[in-house]
Structure 1
Amino acid sequence: MKAPQQLQDALVELLGDARLASCALPGTDLALWLIDGENMDRAFSPEETRRILHEPPYWSFCWASGLALARYLAEHPQWVEGKRVLDFGAGSGVAGIAAIKAGAREVVACDLDPLALAASRANALLNGVELKYSADFFAEADRFDLILVADVLYDRANLPLLDQFLSRGREALVADSRVRDFQHPLYRRIEMLEAMTLPDLAEPEEFRHVSLYHARRRP
Protein backbone atom coordinates (compact mmCIF):
# COMPACT_ATOMS: atom_id res chain seq x y z
CA MET A 1 0.00 0.00 0.00
CA LYS A 2 1.28 3.45 -0.95
CA ALA A 3 1.94 5.98 1.79
CA PRO A 4 -0.80 8.65 2.12
CA GLN A 5 0.25 11.55 -0.12
CA GLN A 6 -0.92 14.31 2.24
CA LEU A 7 1.20 12.93 5.07
CA GLN A 8 4.18 12.22 2.85
CA ASP A 9 4.09 15.77 1.49
CA ALA A 10 3.87 17.25 5.01
CA LEU A 11 6.85 15.21 6.12
CA VAL A 12 8.93 16.26 3.12
CA GLU A 13 8.24 19.91 3.97
CA LEU A 14 9.92 19.32 7.32
CA LEU A 15 12.64 16.90 6.24
CA GLY A 16 13.34 16.76 2.54
CA ASP A 17 14.42 13.13 2.38
CA ALA A 18 11.98 11.75 4.99
CA ARG A 19 9.74 8.89 3.95
CA LEU A 20 6.77 7.19 5.51
CA ALA A 21 6.78 3.41 5.74
CA SER A 22 4.20 0.89 6.90
CA CYS A 23 5.68 -0.54 10.09
CA ALA A 24 4.48 -3.53 12.10
CA LEU A 25 4.39 -2.76 15.82
CA PRO A 26 6.20 -5.39 17.92
CA GLY A 27 4.00 -7.34 20.30
CA THR A 28 0.81 -6.37 18.46
CA ASP A 29 -1.14 -7.19 15.32
CA LEU A 30 -1.08 -3.49 14.37
CA ALA A 31 0.81 -1.52 11.75
CA LEU A 32 1.25 2.24 11.39
CA TRP A 33 2.54 4.70 8.82
CA LEU A 34 5.72 5.92 10.53
CA ILE A 35 8.77 7.89 9.54
CA ASP A 36 11.30 5.50 8.02
CA GLY A 37 14.07 5.50 10.62
CA GLU A 38 16.54 3.70 8.37
CA ASN A 39 16.25 6.51 5.86
CA MET A 40 16.91 9.14 8.52
CA ASP A 41 20.12 7.80 10.02
CA ARG A 42 21.89 11.13 9.75
CA ALA A 43 22.30 14.38 11.62
CA PHE A 44 19.64 17.03 11.11
CA SER A 45 20.66 20.41 9.74
CA PRO A 46 20.07 23.49 11.92
CA GLU A 47 17.13 24.48 9.71
CA GLU A 48 15.59 21.00 9.96
CA THR A 49 16.01 21.07 13.72
CA ARG A 50 14.28 24.45 13.87
CA ARG A 51 11.34 23.19 11.82
CA ILE A 52 11.01 19.98 13.84
CA LEU A 53 11.01 21.89 17.13
CA HIS A 54 8.53 24.45 15.82
CA GLU A 55 6.11 21.92 14.33
CA PRO A 56 7.06 18.39 15.38
CA PRO A 57 5.43 15.58 13.40
CA TYR A 58 4.23 13.65 16.47
CA TRP A 59 1.92 11.63 14.27
CA SER A 60 4.83 10.05 12.37
CA PHE A 61 6.14 8.24 15.47
CA CYS A 62 4.68 5.54 17.68
CA TRP A 63 5.64 6.83 21.12
CA ALA A 64 6.43 4.37 23.86
CA SER A 65 3.34 5.12 25.94
CA GLY A 66 1.04 4.71 22.95
CA LEU A 67 2.58 1.35 22.10
CA ALA A 68 2.38 0.23 25.71
CA LEU A 69 -1.28 1.23 25.95
CA ALA A 70 -2.12 -0.53 22.68
CA ARG A 71 -0.56 -3.74 23.95
CA TYR A 72 -2.35 -3.41 27.27
CA LEU A 73 -5.78 -3.05 25.65
CA ALA A 74 -5.14 -6.12 23.50
CA GLU A 75 -4.31 -8.12 26.62
CA HIS A 76 -7.14 -6.60 28.72
CA PRO A 77 -10.02 -5.96 26.30
CA GLN A 78 -12.52 -5.68 29.15
CA TRP A 79 -11.47 -2.04 29.50
CA VAL A 80 -13.05 -1.18 26.15
CA GLU A 81 -15.41 -3.99 25.10
CA GLY A 82 -18.79 -2.54 24.12
CA LYS A 83 -17.82 0.94 25.32
CA ARG A 84 -17.73 4.42 23.84
CA VAL A 85 -14.10 5.54 23.88
CA LEU A 86 -12.29 8.79 23.08
CA ASP A 87 -8.57 8.74 22.27
CA PHE A 88 -7.29 12.14 23.45
CA GLY A 89 -4.26 13.60 21.67
CA ALA A 90 -4.52 10.70 19.28
CA GLY A 91 -1.39 11.39 17.23
CA SER A 92 -0.99 8.32 15.03
CA GLY A 93 -4.24 6.90 16.41
CA VAL A 94 -2.54 3.83 17.84
CA ALA A 95 -4.48 3.69 21.12
CA GLY A 96 -7.83 4.26 19.44
CA ILE A 97 -7.13 1.64 16.80
CA ALA A 98 -6.16 -0.84 19.49
CA ALA A 99 -9.39 -0.05 21.35
CA ILE A 100 -11.66 -0.67 18.36
CA LYS A 101 -9.82 -3.92 17.59
CA ALA A 102 -10.31 -4.96 21.23
CA GLY A 103 -14.08 -4.59 20.90
CA ALA A 104 -14.96 -0.96 21.64
CA ARG A 105 -18.44 0.04 20.48
CA GLU A 106 -17.20 3.39 19.18
CA VAL A 107 -13.86 5.21 19.17
CA VAL A 108 -13.35 8.91 18.53
CA ALA A 109 -9.77 9.95 17.71
CA CYS A 110 -9.35 13.50 19.03
CA ASP A 111 -6.45 15.79 18.17
CA LEU A 112 -5.94 19.51 17.54
CA ASP A 113 -3.53 18.80 14.68
CA PRO A 114 -5.25 18.17 11.33
CA LEU A 115 -2.27 16.07 10.25
CA ALA A 116 -2.69 13.85 13.31
CA LEU A 117 -6.32 13.27 12.36
CA ALA A 118 -5.23 12.51 8.79
CA ALA A 119 -2.66 10.07 10.17
CA SER A 120 -5.29 8.44 12.37
CA ARG A 121 -7.54 8.01 9.31
CA ALA A 122 -4.73 6.52 7.25
CA ASN A 123 -3.69 4.18 10.05
CA ALA A 124 -7.28 3.09 10.68
CA LEU A 125 -7.54 2.20 6.98
CA LEU A 126 -4.21 0.37 7.15
CA ASN A 127 -5.57 -1.75 10.01
CA GLY A 128 -9.01 -2.31 8.49
CA VAL A 129 -11.00 -0.48 11.19
CA GLU A 130 -13.25 2.58 11.35
CA LEU A 131 -12.90 5.44 13.80
CA LYS A 132 -14.67 8.75 14.25
CA TYR A 133 -12.73 12.00 14.46
CA SER A 134 -12.79 15.23 16.46
CA ALA A 135 -10.58 18.32 16.55
CA ASP A 136 -12.12 19.73 19.74
CA PHE A 137 -12.32 17.70 22.95
CA PHE A 138 -14.39 20.34 24.71
CA ALA A 139 -16.99 20.34 21.93
CA GLU A 140 -17.67 16.67 22.62
CA ALA A 141 -20.63 15.71 24.79
CA ASP A 142 -20.17 14.01 28.14
CA ARG A 143 -21.05 10.60 26.73
CA PHE A 144 -17.89 8.50 26.83
CA ASP A 145 -17.31 5.50 29.01
CA LEU A 146 -13.52 5.82 28.78
CA ILE A 147 -10.96 8.44 27.81
CA LEU A 148 -7.62 7.06 26.60
CA VAL A 149 -4.55 9.27 26.95
CA ALA A 150 -0.98 8.44 25.92
CA ASP A 151 2.11 10.65 25.67
CA VAL A 152 0.28 13.88 26.47
CA LEU A 153 1.92 14.84 29.78
CA TYR A 154 5.38 15.49 28.27
CA ASP A 155 4.46 19.17 28.71
CA ARG A 156 3.71 19.89 32.36
CA ALA A 157 1.35 22.62 31.22
CA ASN A 158 -0.97 19.76 30.22
CA LEU A 159 -1.31 18.39 33.76
CA PRO A 160 -4.56 20.34 34.44
CA LEU A 161 -6.13 18.26 31.67
CA LEU A 162 -6.24 15.35 34.11
CA ASP A 163 -9.33 16.93 35.64
CA GLN A 164 -10.86 17.72 32.28
CA PHE A 165 -10.70 14.14 31.02
CA LEU A 166 -13.35 13.17 33.54
CA SER A 167 -15.63 15.95 32.29
CA ARG A 168 -16.24 13.95 29.12
CA GLY A 169 -15.79 10.37 30.29
CA ARG A 170 -16.71 8.26 33.29
CA GLU A 171 -13.18 6.82 33.48
CA ALA A 172 -9.73 7.60 32.13
CA LEU A 173 -6.64 5.53 31.38
CA VAL A 174 -3.46 7.60 31.14
CA ALA A 175 -0.17 6.13 29.92
CA ASP A 176 2.92 8.22 30.62
CA SER A 177 6.69 7.76 30.83
CA ARG A 178 7.72 11.38 31.43
CA VAL A 179 6.24 12.58 34.72
CA ARG A 180 8.21 11.24 37.66
CA ASP A 181 6.30 13.02 40.43
CA PHE A 182 2.80 12.21 39.19
CA GLN A 183 0.29 13.07 41.88
CA HIS A 184 -3.45 13.49 41.53
CA PRO A 185 -6.15 12.57 44.04
CA LEU A 186 -8.32 10.80 41.45
CA TYR A 187 -5.61 8.86 39.61
CA ARG A 188 -3.80 5.77 40.82
CA ARG A 189 -1.10 3.79 39.09
CA ILE A 190 -2.36 0.33 38.16
CA GLU A 191 0.45 -1.02 35.96
CA MET A 192 4.08 -0.53 34.95
CA LEU A 193 4.61 -1.34 31.28
CA GLU A 194 7.65 -1.57 29.01
CA ALA A 195 7.86 -0.20 25.48
CA MET A 196 10.00 1.94 23.22
CA THR A 197 9.36 4.70 20.70
CA LEU A 198 9.36 3.70 17.03
CA PRO A 199 11.42 4.50 15.11
CA ASP A 200 14.02 4.31 17.85
CA LEU A 201 15.04 7.79 19.02
CA ALA A 202 17.66 6.40 21.40
CA GLU A 203 15.73 7.91 24.29
CA PRO A 204 16.97 7.42 27.85
CA GLU A 205 16.11 4.05 29.37
CA GLU A 206 13.74 5.72 31.85
CA PHE A 207 11.38 6.68 29.02
CA ARG A 208 10.82 3.00 28.25
CA HIS A 209 9.13 2.49 31.61
CA VAL A 210 5.50 3.47 31.12
CA SER A 211 3.15 4.07 34.03
CA LEU A 212 -0.54 3.40 33.51
CA TYR A 213 -2.91 5.47 35.65
CA HIS A 214 -6.63 4.98 36.14
CA ALA A 215 -9.25 7.43 37.35
CA ARG A 216 -12.99 7.14 37.84
CA ARG A 217 -15.32 10.09 38.08
CA ARG A 218 -16.65 10.69 41.54
CA PRO A 219 -20.42 10.19 41.96
Structure 2
Amino acid sequence: MSYAILKTEQKLSRHLASNIPNATLSAQSLPLVPEIKLLLINQDYPQQLLSSEQIQQIMNYPAYWSFCWGSGQALARHILDQPELVAGKRVLDFGCGSGVAAIAAAMAGASQVTACDIDGDAILASQINAALNDVELIYSPDFFADQQVYELILVADVLYDRANLPLLDAILARAKGVLLADSRVKDFQVQGYRHIGRQRATTVPDLAECEAFSHINLYWGESP
Protein backbone atom coordinates (compact mmCIF):
# COMPACT_ATOMS: atom_id res chain seq x y z
CA MET A 1 0.00 0.00 0.00
CA SER A 2 1.37 3.40 -0.98
CA TYR A 3 2.16 6.07 1.60
CA ALA A 4 -0.66 8.29 0.27
CA ILE A 5 -3.22 5.49 0.58
CA LEU A 6 -1.97 4.67 4.08
CA LYS A 7 -2.39 8.31 5.16
CA THR A 8 -5.89 8.33 3.68
CA GLU A 9 -6.78 5.20 5.63
CA GLN A 10 -5.49 6.79 8.85
CA LYS A 11 -7.61 9.88 8.21
CA LEU A 12 -10.76 7.81 7.71
CA SER A 13 -9.98 5.73 10.80
CA ARG A 14 -9.76 8.88 12.93
CA HIS A 15 -13.03 10.19 11.52
CA LEU A 16 -14.76 6.88 12.19
CA ALA A 17 -13.48 6.59 15.75
CA SER A 18 -14.62 10.13 16.53
CA ASN A 19 -18.20 9.18 15.67
CA ILE A 20 -18.43 5.52 16.69
CA PRO A 21 -16.74 4.56 19.96
CA ASN A 22 -14.18 1.75 19.66
CA ALA A 23 -14.78 1.33 15.93
CA THR A 24 -11.90 0.35 13.69
CA LEU A 25 -11.45 -0.37 9.99
CA SER A 26 -10.21 -3.58 8.40
CA ALA A 27 -10.05 -5.10 4.91
CA GLN A 28 -12.88 -7.61 4.56
CA SER A 29 -14.06 -9.94 1.82
CA LEU A 30 -17.76 -9.77 0.96
CA PRO A 31 -19.97 -12.85 1.48
CA LEU A 32 -21.78 -12.44 -1.83
CA VAL A 33 -18.77 -11.06 -3.73
CA PRO A 34 -15.64 -12.76 -2.33
CA GLU A 35 -13.64 -11.45 -5.30
CA ILE A 36 -13.75 -7.98 -3.74
CA LYS A 37 -12.20 -6.72 -0.49
CA LEU A 38 -13.30 -3.48 1.13
CA LEU A 39 -12.07 -1.42 4.04
CA LEU A 40 -15.06 -1.66 6.40
CA ILE A 41 -15.91 -1.13 10.03
CA ASN A 42 -14.92 -4.06 12.24
CA GLN A 43 -17.45 -6.89 12.39
CA ASP A 44 -17.61 -6.77 16.20
CA TYR A 45 -18.08 -3.02 16.61
CA PRO A 46 -20.00 -2.49 19.84
CA GLN A 47 -23.58 -2.04 18.65
CA GLN A 48 -24.92 -2.96 22.08
CA LEU A 49 -23.04 -0.04 23.63
CA LEU A 50 -24.42 2.55 21.24
CA SER A 51 -27.27 4.84 22.10
CA SER A 52 -30.27 5.05 19.79
CA GLU A 53 -28.99 8.45 18.69
CA GLN A 54 -25.60 7.00 17.74
CA ILE A 55 -27.23 4.14 15.84
CA GLN A 56 -29.34 6.63 13.91
CA GLN A 57 -26.20 8.63 13.19
CA ILE A 58 -24.56 5.54 11.71
CA MET A 59 -27.56 4.91 9.48
CA ASN A 60 -27.83 8.48 8.24
CA TYR A 61 -24.23 9.71 8.25
CA PRO A 62 -21.29 10.24 8.54
CA ALA A 63 -19.77 6.80 7.96
CA TYR A 64 -22.02 4.97 5.51
CA TRP A 65 -18.91 4.39 3.38
CA SER A 66 -17.67 2.05 6.14
CA PHE A 67 -20.46 -0.45 5.41
CA CYS A 68 -21.15 -2.40 2.24
CA TRP A 69 -24.91 -2.07 1.90
CA GLY A 70 -26.94 -4.93 0.51
CA SER A 71 -27.92 -3.31 -2.78
CA GLY A 72 -24.33 -2.39 -3.59
CA GLN A 73 -23.20 -5.94 -2.93
CA ALA A 74 -26.04 -7.36 -5.07
CA LEU A 75 -25.23 -4.97 -7.91
CA ALA A 76 -21.53 -5.92 -7.79
CA ARG A 77 -22.46 -9.61 -7.96
CA HIS A 78 -24.73 -8.98 -10.95
CA ILE A 79 -21.96 -7.13 -12.80
CA LEU A 80 -19.30 -9.76 -12.17
CA ASP A 81 -21.69 -12.52 -13.26
CA GLN A 82 -22.55 -10.64 -16.45
CA PRO A 83 -19.39 -8.73 -17.42
CA GLU A 84 -20.76 -8.04 -20.90
CA LEU A 85 -22.97 -5.39 -19.30
CA VAL A 86 -19.94 -3.17 -18.65
CA ALA A 87 -17.11 -4.50 -20.81
CA GLY A 88 -15.52 -1.73 -22.87
CA LYS A 89 -17.97 0.91 -21.60
CA ARG A 90 -17.64 4.27 -19.88
CA VAL A 91 -19.36 3.71 -16.53
CA LEU A 92 -20.29 5.95 -13.61
CA ASP A 93 -21.19 4.71 -10.13
CA PHE A 94 -23.69 7.23 -8.71
CA GLY A 95 -23.51 7.61 -4.93
CA CYS A 96 -20.61 5.19 -4.85
CA GLY A 97 -20.20 4.87 -1.07
CA SER A 98 -17.49 2.25 -0.56
CA GLY A 99 -17.02 2.03 -4.33
CA VAL A 100 -18.08 -1.62 -4.51
CA ALA A 101 -20.11 -1.34 -7.74
CA ALA A 102 -17.45 0.82 -9.42
CA ILE A 103 -14.76 -1.70 -8.48
CA ALA A 104 -16.85 -4.57 -9.85
CA ALA A 105 -17.29 -2.68 -13.13
CA ALA A 106 -13.55 -2.09 -13.42
CA MET A 107 -12.84 -5.75 -12.65
CA ALA A 108 -15.39 -6.79 -15.29
CA GLY A 109 -13.62 -4.85 -18.04
CA ALA A 110 -15.19 -1.39 -18.24
CA SER A 111 -12.97 0.96 -20.23
CA GLN A 112 -13.37 3.79 -17.70
CA VAL A 113 -15.16 3.94 -14.35
CA THR A 114 -16.01 7.09 -12.41
CA ALA A 115 -16.88 6.79 -8.71
CA CYS A 116 -19.16 9.71 -7.83
CA ASP A 117 -20.30 10.79 -4.37
CA ILE A 118 -21.00 14.11 -2.64
CA ASP A 119 -19.41 12.75 0.55
CA GLY A 120 -15.68 13.40 0.46
CA ASP A 121 -15.06 10.48 2.82
CA ALA A 122 -16.79 8.13 0.39
CA ILE A 123 -14.40 9.29 -2.32
CA LEU A 124 -11.45 8.64 -0.01
CA ALA A 125 -12.80 5.19 0.89
CA SER A 126 -13.28 4.37 -2.79
CA GLN A 127 -9.67 5.34 -3.48
CA ILE A 128 -8.46 2.97 -0.77
CA ASN A 129 -10.76 0.17 -1.92
CA ALA A 130 -9.71 0.58 -5.55
CA ALA A 131 -6.09 0.14 -4.43
CA LEU A 132 -7.04 -2.93 -2.37
CA ASN A 133 -8.49 -4.51 -5.49
CA ASP A 134 -5.83 -3.36 -7.97
CA VAL A 135 -8.18 -1.33 -10.16
CA GLU A 136 -8.10 2.28 -11.30
CA LEU A 137 -11.05 4.62 -10.94
CA ILE A 138 -11.79 8.25 -11.73
CA TYR A 139 -13.43 10.29 -8.95
CA SER A 140 -16.13 12.94 -9.03
CA PRO A 141 -17.75 14.83 -6.13
CA ASP A 142 -20.64 16.26 -8.16
CA PHE A 143 -22.74 14.41 -10.73
CA PHE A 144 -24.38 17.64 -11.82
CA ALA A 145 -21.15 19.58 -12.39
CA ASP A 146 -21.06 18.60 -16.05
CA GLN A 147 -23.29 17.13 -18.73
CA GLN A 148 -21.27 14.08 -19.71
CA VAL A 149 -23.26 11.16 -21.07
CA TYR A 150 -22.17 7.70 -19.94
CA GLU A 151 -22.76 4.38 -21.58
CA LEU A 152 -23.86 2.95 -18.24
CA ILE A 153 -24.67 4.43 -14.83
CA LEU A 154 -24.81 2.23 -11.74
CA VAL A 155 -27.15 3.16 -8.89
CA ALA A 156 -27.42 1.31 -5.56
CA ASP A 157 -28.72 2.20 -2.12
CA VAL A 158 -29.86 5.71 -2.99
CA LEU A 159 -33.62 5.23 -2.56
CA TYR A 160 -33.55 5.00 1.25
CA ASP A 161 -35.57 8.22 0.99
CA ARG A 162 -38.43 8.28 -1.52
CA ALA A 163 -37.61 11.94 -2.07
CA ASN A 164 -34.65 10.69 -4.11
CA LEU A 165 -36.86 9.01 -6.72
CA PRO A 166 -36.77 12.06 -9.06
CA LEU A 167 -33.01 11.57 -9.31
CA LEU A 168 -33.67 8.53 -11.48
CA ASP A 169 -35.03 10.72 -14.29
CA ALA A 170 -31.93 12.93 -14.17
CA ILE A 171 -29.66 9.89 -14.16
CA LEU A 172 -31.45 8.29 -17.11
CA ALA A 173 -31.04 11.52 -19.08
CA ARG A 174 -27.25 11.18 -18.75
CA ALA A 175 -26.88 7.51 -19.72
CA LYS A 176 -27.54 5.04 -22.51
CA GLY A 177 -28.40 2.54 -19.81
CA VAL A 178 -28.86 2.42 -16.03
CA LEU A 179 -28.44 -0.54 -13.67
CA LEU A 180 -30.32 0.07 -10.43
CA ALA A 181 -30.41 -2.02 -7.24
CA ASP A 182 -32.86 -1.22 -4.43
CA SER A 183 -34.57 -2.92 -1.50
CA ARG A 184 -36.59 -0.04 -0.06
CA VAL A 185 -39.21 0.96 -2.65
CA LYS A 186 -41.72 -1.88 -2.91
CA ASP A 187 -44.10 -0.22 -5.35
CA PHE A 188 -41.36 0.83 -7.77
CA GLN A 189 -42.88 2.29 -10.93
CA VAL A 190 -40.58 4.74 -12.67
CA GLN A 191 -40.90 5.43 -16.37
CA GLY A 192 -38.01 4.02 -18.35
CA TYR A 193 -37.09 1.36 -15.78
CA ARG A 194 -38.06 -2.31 -15.77
CA HIS A 195 -37.52 -5.10 -13.27
CA ILE A 196 -34.84 -7.60 -14.35
CA GLY A 197 -34.13 -9.75 -11.30
CA ARG A 198 -33.75 -10.29 -7.57
CA GLN A 199 -30.86 -11.07 -5.25
CA ARG A 200 -30.56 -11.58 -1.53
CA ALA A 201 -27.86 -9.63 0.27
CA THR A 202 -27.33 -8.07 3.68
CA THR A 203 -25.26 -5.19 4.91
CA VAL A 204 -21.64 -5.94 5.84
CA PRO A 205 -21.10 -5.76 8.78
CA ASP A 206 -24.59 -6.88 9.75
CA LEU A 207 -26.85 -4.11 11.07
CA ALA A 208 -29.67 -6.54 11.95
CA GLU A 209 -31.95 -4.70 9.53
CA CYS A 210 -35.48 -5.76 8.68
CA GLU A 211 -35.47 -9.01 6.67
CA ALA A 212 -37.36 -7.27 3.86
CA PHE A 213 -34.34 -5.04 3.24
CA SER A 214 -32.24 -8.09 2.32
CA HIS A 215 -34.36 -8.77 -0.76
CA ILE A 216 -32.77 -6.65 -3.48
CA ASN A 217 -34.57 -5.82 -6.71
CA LEU A 218 -32.60 -5.08 -9.87
CA TYR A 219 -33.87 -2.76 -12.57
CA TRP A 220 -32.70 -1.76 -16.04
CA GLY A 221 -33.26 1.81 -17.16
CA GLU A 222 -33.22 2.91 -20.77
CA SER A 223 -34.54 5.96 -22.57
CA PRO A 224 -37.29 5.34 -25.16
Q: Shorter-chain-normalised TM-score: which range? A: over 0.9
Cross-structure match for 2:141: 135
The 4+ residue runs of structure 1 with deviation greater than 4 A are none
Q: Give the equivalent residue in structure 1 for 2:98.
A: 92
User: Could you say which residue in structure 2 is the equivalent of 1:118?
Assistant: 124
For residues 141 and 47 of structure 1, the distance between their equivalents in structure 2, rounded to whole angstroms, comes to 39
Structure 1 unaligned segments of length 5 or more: list them: none
The whole-number CA distance in structure 1 between the counterparts of 2:61 and 2:113 is 26
Q: What do you get for the CA RMSD once the two structures are aligned?
A: 1.7
Corresponding residue of 1:191? 197
- Specify the alignment match of 1:59 in structure 2: 65
TM-score normalised per structure 1: 0.94
Structure 2 CA distance for aligned equivalents of residues 201 and 50 of structure 1: 11
The offset of 1:166, in angstroms, is 1.5
Farther-moved stretch of structure 1 (43-52 vs 114-123): 43-52
What amino acid is the match of 1:6?
K
Partners of 2:30 and 2:146 in 1: CA distance: 30
TM-score using structure 2 length? 0.92
Aligned equivalent of 1:24? 29
Aligned AA (1:203)? E
Aligned residues: 218
Letter in 1 for 2:189: Q
Letter in 1 for 2:22: D
Identity rate, percent: 52
Deviation at 1:214, TM superposition (A): 0.6
Q: For 1:69 and 1:158, how far apart are their aligned partners in 2?
A: 19
Cα drift, residue 45 of structure 1: 3.0
Paired letter, 2:215: H
Matched, 1:36 2:53: no
| Structure 2: runs of 5 or more not aligned | none
Q: For residue 10 of structure 1, what is the aligned residue in structure 2?
A: 15
The 1-side partners of 2:30 and 2:184 are apart by 21
The amino acid that maps onto 1:186 is G
- How far residue 51 of structure 1 moved from its aligned partner, in angstroms, is 4.4
The partner residue of 1:162 within 162, 168, 175 is 168
| Closer, same or farther: CA 10–162 of 1 in aligned 2, 3 Å | same
1:83-135 CA-to-partner distances (Å, cap 9, x unmatched) read 00000000000000000000000000000000000000010011111100001
Say whether residues 1:149 and 2:155 are aligned partners: yes
